[in-house]
Chain A
């Protein structure tokens, strides 16, 4: 248990539909990260929050993607007009440890776009 939950764990949707994922850290963390992992690849950075502020965004985060962290606690990631290429595991990560460099992943949300 890394202290973060994600919901839903699995999502199957049809192409063109919108989906929203949620990440809930169990305790307060000023930073929160989103990554995407496609089959057979390493995780790819999407975006990062410092409290409510979205400070870094990857070029992977097209205009169909939006992320929020309204109260500096939980975060949501929305994908509009899903495409088959969006099928992946979406991972949320939080910092833990002494130096705060470490990133610990949640269980992820597996998205399948049919």
Chain B
């Protein structure tokens, strides 16, 4: 089955700096890759996603890139703000399945 690895597990950045979180996946048949943000005690919230037919997608300060050949995808947050502090999870979904396989998460701390 699919295996998704995520790193780093923790990341601290100064407010205004950029943050990058990287994930790799094992199943070349995977074609959908969402990113979730989870604040303490709350549900994971979908913040951006990408499908395998595109290489990059951007939404305001967040962007996701996908390299199908290398089987890795990344989340980029620019101009970080304290409210970006949370745990971020990447996930992969195999074509033909609706099962999401999640990474172990990255705890992002934005220092004011």
B44 adjacent to chain A (CB < 8 Å): yes
Complex Cα–Cα for A104 and B91 (A): 13
CB proximity to A under 8 Å, residues B41-71: 43-46, 49, 51
CB-CB under 8 A from B44, the residues of chain A are 37, 43, 91, 105
Complex Cα–Cα for A37 and B99 (A): 14
CB-CB under 8 A from A99, the residues of chain B are 51
Report whether A104 and B46 are in contact in the complex, using a CB–CB cutoff of 8 Å.
yes
CB-CB under 8 A from B97, the residues of chain A are 56
For chain B, the bracket of interface size reads 20 to 34
Report whether B104 and A107 are in contact in the complex, using a CB–CB cutoff of 8 Å.
no
B89 adjacent to chain A (CB < 8 Å): yes
Interface size on A, residues (CB 8 A): 25
CB-CB under 8 A from B105, the residues of chain A are 40-42
Complex Cα–Cα for A37 and B41 (A): 12
Given contacts A102-B46, A106-B43, contact A41 B32 (CB under 8 A): no
A21 adjacent to chain B (CB < 8 Å): no
Given A41-B104, A56-B99, A103-B98: 11 more A-B contacts, CB < 8 Å: A31-B98, A37-B44, A42-B89, A43-B102, A55-B98, A56-B97, A102-B49, A103-B34, A105-B45, A106-B43, A108-B43
5 contacts between A and B (CB under 8 A): A41-B104, A56-B99, A102-B34, A103-B34, A108-B43
